[in-house]
Every structure is written in structure tokens, then in C-alpha cells.
């Protein structure tokens, strides 16, 4: 009866609370093979993020999604909004790679490469730098809020905010040229939108890496919810060998002398203390586990100390734990690999064979057609000649497709377009009304580079006119 | 025992943070996707020109577009959450005569 009432009292007691009582996870620092791997990944990835923005290539920023100019530079390649399809292909490859690695070894992405993990790690590192290890942090939070407390907290938040601002600045630097941005920042000339996005992204970083942390993985991440679908009995997961560890005992020697069966787990609790999501891996695979392997490092250290073999917690498969054979290379891995290879192949082929010359034909909206002084029917177009080649070119524009169709004025029309630029060219097309058979006729604009004859397009357009009797 | 409150519906036991996040976060993701697709097809400056708005930077267009999308998708997510709430059970009127009829 008492148990029942206490069980029922707790939900009613907290149902009135506005916010979920979130207990901060005080993470103990861990050293070992996987910690080294994780730190290496962190340094490399953060280095790439903060560094790549400053790398130049061929006179422009190497990686720049120039939103104000609607052009995307990736090293020597220039992409346009029209090239959106390549991005979709890239996203398919990324998703398939994620699925493949998940089916191979669980949440590798979450543990080592996800921005949420990487930034949380660096923010935790800064926290440790100022406040000390997990135990000291808890002591500080539970102790008196005196001058020392506020000094330490202020230092930490100042450090966090500075790092967030740098992160936000770099983020915007991938979308508007970062050197210009830096110059504008120093001369206090930032535009309102740039300023807004720097602060928006900084705030998101500060909140996600400083406060939300593992809650992002637990509540917000869609991948965390469906990743188990890629798991099977041959997937490498971080697991506790219960057969070897149980029954756990804090006094194994005494209990063994008394003739009781004792497992290898000494119940030191280190695996729980180092877990960034605050779970106990000994309870089995849980969806909160991001696969960071911190518990493996912690447990291995303890096993070494007490003279037992390492690997009580280790990367292993369900099959292996049950003593069955494990097949790492299995059909689903090859299916993922096949799709990745296919899409990547198509992507490379498409990029290599894409035409760096494009033309958009826009009809003049105000008039369907006019009759000019020569008695010819005239249509007016606006041509957008887009030169995506690395060199500037002079392009010759002609028309074809109908008998006697010609450009008004100088023909061929010549236009100079710089590399990566768009030129607006007004073009008037005329034709003898006698040769107009339909209201709407197919004509073609032919554009060819003078110095590079294979750089050409044959673009269809509509020519409207009255049908002569 | 009979007076003890029954266990709560599973929907109610979701923490508030998770409920807020479940509205704002999926809508953020879909808004980002919508923004990318939309502005890959349309240049904000062209759209502004059609409305005769001068001196309109593209970044302003992207920003307003993104938050517009986010607002829309948030409303959609919020409505989904709202309509998914369990309805109260309608009390069924009890007529003593019914009992007689069954016998």
C-alpha cells in the first residue's frame, strides 16, 4: 500500500512543474585508446571547421557558399542554384554512408564525428579547464554561491561565449566571404543580417554545447530514434559482458573465499561516471548511448589495475556475446556500399561532363510580339548567359529553327562574360510574317564561345506571332 | 484502492522540454529544407523586384524566408500536437430502465 501511494504521488507532484527537472551530468574525465581517438577526431574536425574558411583557392575562398552572389565554390568547382541536384546526390551518399557505418559498428557518427558531440567535448574541456573535473564541478554547484563561485562561473561563461562567437563568425564566413566579413567586423561595418546570423548561430552553439548537451541526442536527434533499425546481431556495439561480469561484487575476494560465485565487475561505477549521457552500460544497449566508448576506456583501466583481462566492456556483437560466429561483411553492408558507389559514380560523371555554359531565355513580358518598320514580326527576349568555365569568353549568339529567322541589328551578337559571371543580353528576333505558320513556334538560340568551339549550347525558345492567311 | 488516481496517459508524461522541442525542432529541420529548395529555385531579389521593392539584399530575403518557413512549419507541428491530445470521454447517460430491458 505504501509503495503504491508513493508511486502515484510522484507523478502528480511533478505534473505541476513547468520544466522537466534536468539533472546535470557531471562527467569524469577519462584517458585511454578511445579517448585519444575521440580527441583526435575533435581536433581534426574543429581544425577543419575553423581553418578551412580561411583557405584560398584560385583567388577565391576554397569553400564558400556565397549566398549573396548565389554561387557555391568548392575548390576549383563553381556550383549554381541550378546544380541543386548534385547536392541531393551528395546527401544521398552521406545518408547511405551513415547507414553503412551504423550497421557495421553502431553509432560511430554520434560518438566521434557529430557536431553535437564534438562541440560538447570542447565545451566540456573548457569547463574542466576552469572548474576542474566532474567531482569538483558538482562540489562547486552544491557549495556556497560566494565570490569564488561567481568568479569561476563568470570565467567559464566568458570563455564559452567567446568560443561561441568565434563559431558563429566562422559559420557566417562560409556563406559570405570571411575576409570581407573580418574586415567589416574590425571596422565595425557588419550588415544587419550578417550580425543577426552570427549571434543566432553563436547562441545555438552556446545553448547546445554548454547546456542541452546529451538532451539534444536524447530528445532532438531523429537519427537516435531510427538508428536501431540498422542494427542487427552482427553489428559491433559497445556492450558489457554480463556473463563475465555478473554477479558483480564490491568485495570479490571476501565473497570468493566464502565460496560465492563472483563476476569480474567490481561495481566501481566508473563506467557510469564517465558517461556523457549518464547511463549505465551494464543495463544493456540503450538508445541514450551515443557510442563514445568512454566506458570501455574506464573499465579497461580498472581491469588492468585489478589484474583481470581487459574488455569487460568492449566493442562486440550480439552474436559474439552469445558465442556464435560473427559476420562483419554481410549483404546489407554490400548493399549500402553498392548504392554509395553507384551514386558517387553518377555524381562524378555528371560533374565532369556538365556544360559550363548555360543560357536562360526569358521572354519580354509586356508584349507578345510587335511589328517593326520593316514589316517583320519581332519578339523580344532577355538572355542570361552564364559562364561557369574557369576562363572568360566571348560568346557568339545566333538564332535558328525557322525559315528566315534572324536577330535585329548586328548578327551574330557577341557578348563577353567573365568566369563565374552572368551577363544579361537583350535580344530582338525578327521574321517575315509570311513564314509564320503557327501562333507559337520553336526557335533556338545558339551560343558558342569564339575561342572554344566545343563550349556551346542550343537552347529552345518560343517565338509568338500572328498566323497569316 | 479504488480512489487511487489511475496512471497517466503516456503523452502526458513527456517532459515539457521534449514537447517544446518536438514542435520547434522538426519544424526547424523542414524549414531549413524548404528554404534551401525554395531559394535554389527563386532568387529573392527577383521576387522583390516583382513587388517593386528596391534595395533588398539577398541575405535579408533568405533570412525572412527561413523564419517565414519556420513559423509555418511550427504552426503545422503545433497543430499536429494539439489534435493528437486525447479527447475527454463523453459521459454516457445512464437510464435505469435499460437494465430492466436487458433482463
Q: Please indicate if any CB of chain B lies within 8 Å of the CB of A243.
A: no
In this prediction, residue A19 carries a pLDDT of 44
Q: What is the end-to-end Cα distance of chain B in Å, rounded?
A: 31
In this prediction, residue A218 carries a pLDDT of 83
In this prediction, residue A258 carries a pLDDT of 81
As a whole number of angstroms, the distance between CA B65 and CA B46 comes to: 14
Measuring CA to CA, which residue among A253, A317, A246, A256 is closest to residue A283?
A246
For residue A193, which residues of chain B lie inside 8 Å, CB to CB?
A: 57, 59-60, 62-63
Per-residue pLDDT tens over the stretch B46-88: 888 888 877 788 889 999 999 999 999 999 999 998 888 777 7
Please list the residues that pair with A399 across neighbouring strands: A445
Residue B43 is nearest to which of A18, A70, A219, comparing CB atoms? Answer: A70
- pLDDT tens across the length of chain A (469 residues): 333 333 333 333 333 344 445 678 888 888 889 999 999 999 999 999 999 999 998 888 999 998 888 888 888 788 887 788 888 898 899 999 999 999 988 889 998 999 999 999 999 999 999 998 888 898 998 989 899 999 999 999 999 999 999 999 999 999 999 999 999 999 998 988 999 999 999 999 999 999 888 888 888 888 888 888 888 888 898 999 988 888 888 888 888 888 788 888 999 989 999 998 889 999 988 888 888 899 999 999 999 998 889 999 999 888 888 888 888 888 889 999 999 999 999 999 988 888 888 898 988 877 888 888 888 999 999 999 988 877 889 999 999 988 888 898 887 889 999 877 788 999 999 998 888 888 888 999 999 999 888 889 999 999 988 886 5
Report which secondary-structure segment, H or E, holds B74.
helix B58-83
In this prediction, residue A8 carries a pLDDT of 37
Residue A81 is nearest to which of B7, B12, B40, comparing CB atoms? Answer: B40
Residue A20 is nearest to which of B17, B25, B26, comparing CB atoms? Answer: B17
Q: Please indicate if any CB of chain B lies within 8 Å of the CB of A259.
A: no
Say how many CA atoms lie within 13 Å of A343 toward its Cβ.
19
In this prediction, residue A299 carries a pLDDT of 93
Global confidence as pTM = 0.77
- Is-contact A325 A319, C-beta < 8 A? yes
User: B91: distance to nearest CA of chain A, Å?
Assistant: 24
User: Could you tell me which residues of chain B have a Cβ less than 8 Å from any Cβ in chain A?
Assistant: 1, 4-5, 7-8, 12-13, 15-18, 21-22, 25-26, 29, 36-37, 39-41, 43, 57-60, 62-63
The CA angle A280-A286-A288, to the nearest 5 degrees, is: 85
Q: Best residue in B3, B63, B67 to probe A by mutation, most A CBs within 10 Å? A: B63
ipTM of model: 0.71
User: B70: distance to nearest CA of chain A, Å?
Assistant: 14
Rounded to the nearest angstrom, the gap between the alpha carbon of residue B67 and the centroid of all alpha carbons in its chain is 15
Q: Retrieve residue A79's grid coordinates.
A: 556550383
For residue B43, which residues of chain A lie inside 8 Å, CB to CB?
A: 70, 81
As a whole number of angstroms, the distance between CA A155 and CA A169 comes to: 21
Q: Please indicate if any CB of chain B lies within 8 Å of the CB of A68.
A: yes
| A114: CB partners within 8 A, 6+ apart | A290
User: A198: distance to nearest CA of chain B, Å?
Assistant: 12
For residue B28, which residues of chain A lie inside 8 Å, CB to CB?
A: none
Distances (CA, A) of A4 to A8, A15, B3, B96: 6, 18, 12, 36
- The answer to whether the Cβ–Cβ distance between B5 and A8 falls below 8 Å is yes
- The answer to whether the Cβ–Cβ distance between A70 and B16 falls below 8 Å is no
User: B75: distance to nearest CA of chain A, Å?
Assistant: 18
| Mean pLDDT of all residues belonging to chain B | 79
Domains delineated in chain A: 232-321 (no CATH), 357-464 (2.60.40.10)
Distances (CA, A) of A373 to A369, A412, A469: 13, 21, 21
Confidence of residue B1 (pLDDT cuts 50, 70, 90): very low
Q: Best residue in B9, B17, B46, B62 to probe A by mutation, most A CBs within 10 Å? A: B17
User: B89: distance to nearest CA of chain A, Å?
Assistant: 21
- Residue-range domain boundaries for chain B: 28-84
- The answer to whether the Cβ–Cβ distance between B58 and A84 falls below 8 Å is no
Amino acid at each position: 500500500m505504501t509503495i503504491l501511494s508513493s508511486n502515484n504521488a510522484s507523478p502528480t507532484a511533478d505534473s505541476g512543474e513547468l520544466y522537466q527537472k534536468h539533472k546535470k551530468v557531471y562527467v569524469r574525465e577519462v584517458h585511454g585508446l578511445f579517448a585519444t581517438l575521440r580527441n583526435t577526431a575533435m581536433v581534426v574536425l574543429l581544425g577543419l571547421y575553423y581553418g578551412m574558411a580561411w583557405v584560398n583557392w584560385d583567388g577565391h575562398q576554397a569553400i564558400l557558399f556565397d549566398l549573396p552572389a548565389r554561387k557555391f565554390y568548392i575548390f576549383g568547382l563553381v556550383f549554381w542554384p541550378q546544380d541543386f541536384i548534385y547536392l541531393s546526390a551528395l546527401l544521398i551518399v552521406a545518408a547511405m554512408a551513415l547507414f553503412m557505418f551504423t550497421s557495421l559498428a553502431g553509432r560511430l557518427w554520434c560518438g566521434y564525428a557529430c557536431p553535437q558531440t564534438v562541440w560538447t567535448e570542447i565545451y566540456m574541456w573548457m569547463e574542466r579547464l576552469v572548474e576542474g573535473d566532474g567531482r569538483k564541478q558538482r562540489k562547486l554547484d552544491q557549495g556556497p554561491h560566494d565570490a569564488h563561485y561567481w568568479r569561476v562561473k563568470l570565467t567559464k561563461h566568458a570563455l564559452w561565449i567567446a568560443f561561441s562567437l568565434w563559431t558563429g563568425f566562422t559559420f557566417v564566413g562560409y556563406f559570405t566571404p570571411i575576409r570581407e566579413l573580418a574586415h567589416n567586423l574590425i571596422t565595425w561595418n557588419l550588415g544587419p543580417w550578417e550580425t543577426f546570423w552570427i549571434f543566432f548561430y553563436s547562441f545555438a552553439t552556446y545553448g547546445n554545447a554548454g547546456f542541452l548537451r546529451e538532451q539534444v541526442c536524447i530528445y532532438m536527434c531523429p537519427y537516435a530514434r531510427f538508428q536501431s533499425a540498422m542494427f542487427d546481431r552482427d553489428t559491433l556495439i559497445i556492450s558489457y559482458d554480463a556473463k563475465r561480469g555478473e554477479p558483480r561484487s564490491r568485495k570479490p575476494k571476501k565473497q570468493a573465499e566464502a565460496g560465492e560465485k563472483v563476476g569480474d565487475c567490481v561495481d566501481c561505477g566508473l563506467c557510469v561516471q564517465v558517461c556523457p549521457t549518464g547511463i549505465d552500460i551494464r543495463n544493456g544497449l540503450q538508445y541514450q548511448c551515443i557510442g563514445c566508448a568512454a566506458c570501455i576506456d574506464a573499465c579497461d583501466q580498472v581491469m588492468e589495475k585489478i589484474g583481470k583481462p581487459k574488455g569487460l566492456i568492449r566493442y562486440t556483437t550480439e552474436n559474439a556475446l552469445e558465442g556464435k560466429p560473427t559476420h562483419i561483411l554481410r549483404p546489407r553492408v554490400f548493399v549500402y556500399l553498392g548504392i554509395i558507389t553507384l551514386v558517387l559514380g553518377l555524381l562524378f560523371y555528371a560533374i565532369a561532363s556538365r556544360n559550363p555554359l548555360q543560357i536562360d531565355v526569358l521572354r519580354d513580358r509586356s508584349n507578345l510580339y510587335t511589328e517593326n518598320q520593316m514589316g517583320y514580326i519581332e519578339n523580344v527576349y532577355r538572355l542570361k548567359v552564364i559562364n561557369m568555365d574557369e576562363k572568360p569568353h566571348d560568346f557568339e549568339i545566333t538564332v535558328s529553327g525557322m525559315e528566315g529567322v534572324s536577330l535585329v541589328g548586328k548578327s551574330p551578337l557577341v557578348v563577353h562574360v567573365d568566369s563565374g559571371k552572368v551577363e544579361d543580353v537583350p535580344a530582338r528576333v525578327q521574321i517575315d510574317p509570311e513564314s509564320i505558320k503557327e501562333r507559337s513556334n520553336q526557335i533556338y538560340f545558339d551560343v558558342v564561345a569564339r575561342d572554344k568551339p566545343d563550349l556551346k549550347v542550343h537552347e529552345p525558345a518560343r517565338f509568338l506571332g500572328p498566323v497569316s492567311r | 484502492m479504488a480512489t487511487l488516481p489511475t496512471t497517466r496517459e503516456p503523452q502526458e508524461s513527456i517532459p515539457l522540454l521534449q514537447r517544446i522541442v518536438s514542435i520547434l525542432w522538426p519544424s526547424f529541420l523542414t524549414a531549413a529544407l524548404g528554404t534551401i529548395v525554395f531559394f535554389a529555385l527563386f532568387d529573392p531579389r527577383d521576387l522583390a523586384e516583382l513587388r517593386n521593392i528596391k534595395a533588398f539584399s539577398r541575405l535579408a530575403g533568405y533570412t525572412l524566408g527561413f523564419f517565414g518557413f519556420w513559423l509555418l512549419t511550427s504552426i503545422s507541428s503545433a497543430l499536429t500536437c494539439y489534435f493528437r491530445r486525447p479527447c475527454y470521454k463523453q459521459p454516457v447517460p445512464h437510464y435505469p430502465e435499460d437494465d430492466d430491458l436487458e433482463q
